[in-house]
Amino acid sequence: MAKKRDAVYRTGDAVLRPSSCIIEYQVTNEEAPASGFASFSLGKVPAFAEQAQGDHAFRTELLQGVDLTVALRFSDEVMQVAVMPRNALRITKCQVVFQRAFRVGEKALFNGRLSSDETAEVDVFAARPGQAAGVAQGYTFAYLRGAAGCELVGSLDESRGLLRISMDAFEQQVAVQPECPCEPIEPGKLHALCECCCVSVPAEGEAAERAVNAAFARWFALAGVRRPVAKPLAGYTSQQRQGAALCESQLLADLQGACAVFSSLDACGHEKVFLLDSGYCAVGDWLQPSAESFPHGVAPLAKTARSLGFLPGVALWPFACERASQLYAQHPDWVLADPQGKPVPVGPRARKLYALDTLNPQVRDYVSQCVSTLVQQWGAQVLRLDGLSAACALAQGGMNGAQLLVDALDLLRAAAGEDTLLIATDVPLGCTFGRVDYVATCCQPAAGWNNPTLPWVAGREGRGVRGALASMVFRGPLNGRAFRAYSGVLPWGSAGKLSPDQLEMLMMGAACHSATLLVSGNMGDWDARQIAAFQQALRLQQAANA
């Protein structure tokens, strides 16, 4: 009999305990195509029922002539699932279900799939947009927080696939489901499907937030992710300059304004940045800046910025192009096509952006050439890599989305070199760990406090400042562990729908929960209040990233 969703269950142990494992597969032998599944009730195994730890291997006869060994290990805080088939087969699903009692007043956080997806704590029994009460799902990590402490589930390696985590509080279940490989599993070889941690930190009289922070610390200790060494960034970006305002003369004026403000400030150990954002050319034509707006090209602007003490930066969508670009006109075969042969769209529909085929050797050469030219010839020392979800828009070539994205990030790092600072946006967070220097932890704030969800996005992305600030805060524990957190462009000093108090709230949130303070507009137009608030934000961010 189904449980009523308006009930509240307070009994049972509020600790994650593995209860079942499901493996689904397809036999790849054309002579005998078949599909099947293996389901194990872990609660019936004494070690799982009593202490939820130990090593277990199960061998079952799934179909006639098909043997599959499933090895499931849950030792201390780490769970691993691996399979070894006798015959070639493709795994289509792997899921481990945990039992847990949920308590009134507990909070849950499930990380959004992309860095731009809104991520915030909610009550475990609450209804979320488009979902039933008590139901939630996310990727890479999730935690449950209450008066007793914090329990965190986190992926230990997303180079093989994203980890999907879901919850049904009324059914008293949490499930983890890794993204399965697209290629058939080699017979006679043990293949890892999932590796994640289940960390439990008691509050022990301390604030629950400290338990959350301790859980993140333990997760990254188990994952062995290299801590970021890049310094916090502060400075200017042209992202909100559009049309005629995005030109050489205007940017030189903005550069002088930035110099004037920073000459009166203590930079507090930040690297100063002057970033030319996208818009200087058609998306895809990265080596062809507008001759009208940049008659001398971009390299002289970068050289001037560097002479004034700023790291010059450039933004690009490395794995996308727009329909109006020369790249699309000259190389339509470089565009990623779906099974029906149609181009795969990415980003805002109004811009008609399409994903590039990252496995096409010519695309790889072109992207590498663009990145190396920006760094070696134009003098860029910072690259903001936007629209990275285009690299994992469609599984192909025997690789799933996470494998494609990791491969794409490695391609960018090889082309840019180890000394170039890379900022990643619009990207699944777990794939970036240890591969880039800065990663967005929120959507790009628009000039509105409560903007609605964007119509072209199927997930949780919005552009409201309140949602961006919440994501920045609740993903704050990643800053300094997985990467340096990028807070997006702060509309400081620009005319918009935000009050001065709301602008300062956004600035202080970025200072305390990220490692970047990049602003738009001419800083030379700031008044004394804005300069003082920016100085305070620099000091707060220095302390937060110490």
pLDDT in tens, 196-232: 999 999 886 557 778 999 999 999 999 999 899 999 9
> Strand locations in 282-410, DSSP E?
311-316, 320-322, 345-346, 353-355, 382-385
Instruction: Work out the burial of residue 275: count CB atoms within 10 Å of its CB; fewer than 13 is exposed, 13-18 middle, 19 or more buried.
Output: buried
The answer to whether 478 and 429 have CB atoms below 8 angstroms apart is: yes
Backbone angles phi, psi at 244, to 5 degrees: -65, -20
Strand partners, 272: 234
| Whether pLDDT at 47 is above 80 | no
Give the three-class secondary structure for 345: strand
| Whether pLDDT at 9 is above 50 | no
Residue 107 or 186, more confident: 107
The residues, ordered by sequence, that sit 6+ positions from 400 with a Cβ below 8 Å of its Cβ are: 160, 161, 179, 180, 181, 182
Mean pLDDT of 526-538: 93
Strands in 66-75's sheet, in edge-to-edge order, are: 54-63, 66-75, 78-85, 191-202, 149-155, 141-146, 107-110, 122-123
State percent of the chain over pLDDT 90.
65
The DSSP output letter for 460 is: S
pTM: 0.92
Cα dihedral 396, 399, 403, 407 sign: negative
- Other C-beta atoms closer than 10 Å to the C-beta of 263 total 9
| Whether pLDDT at 353 is above 90 | yes
Helix boundaries (H) for 51-187:
none
pLDDT in tens, 48-78: 434 444 456 666 666 666 788 888 887 778 9
Give the per-residue pLDDT at 97: 93
**Arithmetic mean of pLDDT over the chain:** 87
The answer to whether 463 and 496 have CB atoms below 8 angstroms apart is: no
| Whether pLDDT at 407 is above 70 | yes
b/e for 506-535, b at 16 or more Cβ within 10 A?
bbbbbbbbbbbbbbbbbbeebeeebbebbb
| Whether pLDDT at 261 is above 90 | yes
Strand partners, 27: 34, 89
CA distance linking residue 299 with residue 306, whole number of Å: 11
Give the per-residue pLDDT at 37: 77
Give the per-residue pLDDT at 359: 98
Give the per-residue pLDDT at 144: 95
Stretch among 276-290, 298-312, 320-334, 349-363 having the lowest mean pLDDT: 349-363
The DSSP output letter for 396 is: B
